[in-house]
């Protein structure tokens, strides 16, 4: 009878340990995924602000193709085409260090404003 009680206690203890181990694994995974999504959201937000600043700068100055390197991402400005010798179309793309595209914007600048 005594062996049966200690055996039952051991089985219950093992079941509780397995349950908490699985719970910890799931919680750690959830927090890790949240951290990754938070970093991506931060990079997208920072890239958006930088692109907005560059678009404003493009409206004042005529730029050729340029790359701007930041800590967590890079912004590429590509002069795509000139329309009717009056407008320039730029493609601005922000890419993170893993090559994942964070943001892509096309903007048109009036050349008359630049002169």
Task: Quote the number of domains for the chain.
Answer: 1
Residue 100: its pLDDT value, please? 83
The 3-state secondary structure of the chain reads: CHHHHHHHHHHHHHHHHHHHHHHHHHHHHHHHHHHHHHHHHHHHHHHHHHHHHHHHHHHHCCCCCEEEECCCEEEEEEEEEEECCCEEEEEEEEEECCCCEEEEEEEEEEHHHHC
Compute the Cα dihedral for 27, 29, 31, 37 and give only its sign: negative
Closest CA to 95 of 64, 66, 58, 69: 69
Q: What is the domain range of residue 61? A: 2-114
pLDDT over 90, % of the chain: 25
Compute the residue count for the chain. Answer: 115
Dist CA 107 CA 91 (whole Å): 7
Whether the per-residue pLDDT at 114 is higher than 70: the answer is no
Residue 40: its pLDDT value, please? 86
Cβ atoms of 47 and 73 closer than 8 Å: yes
Question: pLDDT tens digit string along 55-92?
Answer: 777 666 666 667 777 777 788 877 777 777 777 787 88
Residue with tokens 């320039």: 88
């Amino acid at each position: 009878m005594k062996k049966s009680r200690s055996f039952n206690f051991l089985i219950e203890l093992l079941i509780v340990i397995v349950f908490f181990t699985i719970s910890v694994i799931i919680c750690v995974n959830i927090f890790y995924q949240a951290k990754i999504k938070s970093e991506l959201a931060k990079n997208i937000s920072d890239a958006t602000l930088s692109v907005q600043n560059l678009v404003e700068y493009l409206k004042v100055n005529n730029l050729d193709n340029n790359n701007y390197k930041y800590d967590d991402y890079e912004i590429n400005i590509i002069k795509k085409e000139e329309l009717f010798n009056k407008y320039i179309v730029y493609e601005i793309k922000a890419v993170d260090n893993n090559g994942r595209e964070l943001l892509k914007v096309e903007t048109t600048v009036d050349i008359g404003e630049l002169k």
